[in-house]
Amino acid sequence: MKSNIYRISEPNNPPQISGNGSKGLMIVINESDNSENLATLQGLVKAIKFDIEEDVSIVSCNENQISLNPIISTGKYKTIILIGIDPDQVGFAIQAKKNFFYNMENFSILLVDSLKDMNADKAKKMAFWQNLQAKFLS
């Protein structure tokens, strides 16, 4: 019997995290998207009545893979939002569509378009906003 064994490498570059995340929300975003569209991100976070420094943790990443598993395993984060980030880039082996909350064992995850794309297409921004409202304001 022939078997194929695939080695899944763990990225060894720890992510840069800002904010305390006291309300269990982690946002993962591309560094360039974050710096170019910070006002949009701040506005969306403020609209759900969260403080961007106290209530949210923001993980900025570049094109390299990072692993969120050590951070998530602490149990601190209940909601993870990937803004313009593919799940496999942060160590998640899932096939997921955008703008839909997926409930995992200990947290929920939402994939959305980049802020740059949302600013160019108001329908994408509205879809993200509707998810935020349903999750945090209802």
**Per-residue pLDDT tens digits for 76-93:** 999 999 999 999 888 888
Structural domain count of the chain? 1
6 domain-assigned: no
2 domain-assigned: no
**What is the average pLDDT score of the chain?**
88
Which comes out higher in pLDDT, residue 97 or 63? 97
Which comes out higher in pLDDT, residue 27 or 88? 27
Domain containing 21 equals: 16-137
Query: Where residue 52 sits, what CATH number does that domain have?
Result: 3.40.470.10
Q: Is the dihedral of CA 128, 134, 136, 138 positive or negative?
A: positive
Q: Please write the tens of the pLDDT for every residue from 45-63.
A: 999 999 999 999 999 988 7
Per-residue confidence at 130, pLDDT binned at 50, 70, 90? very high
7 domain-assigned: no
10 domain-assigned: no
115 domain-assigned: yes
CB 71 within 8 A of CB 65: no
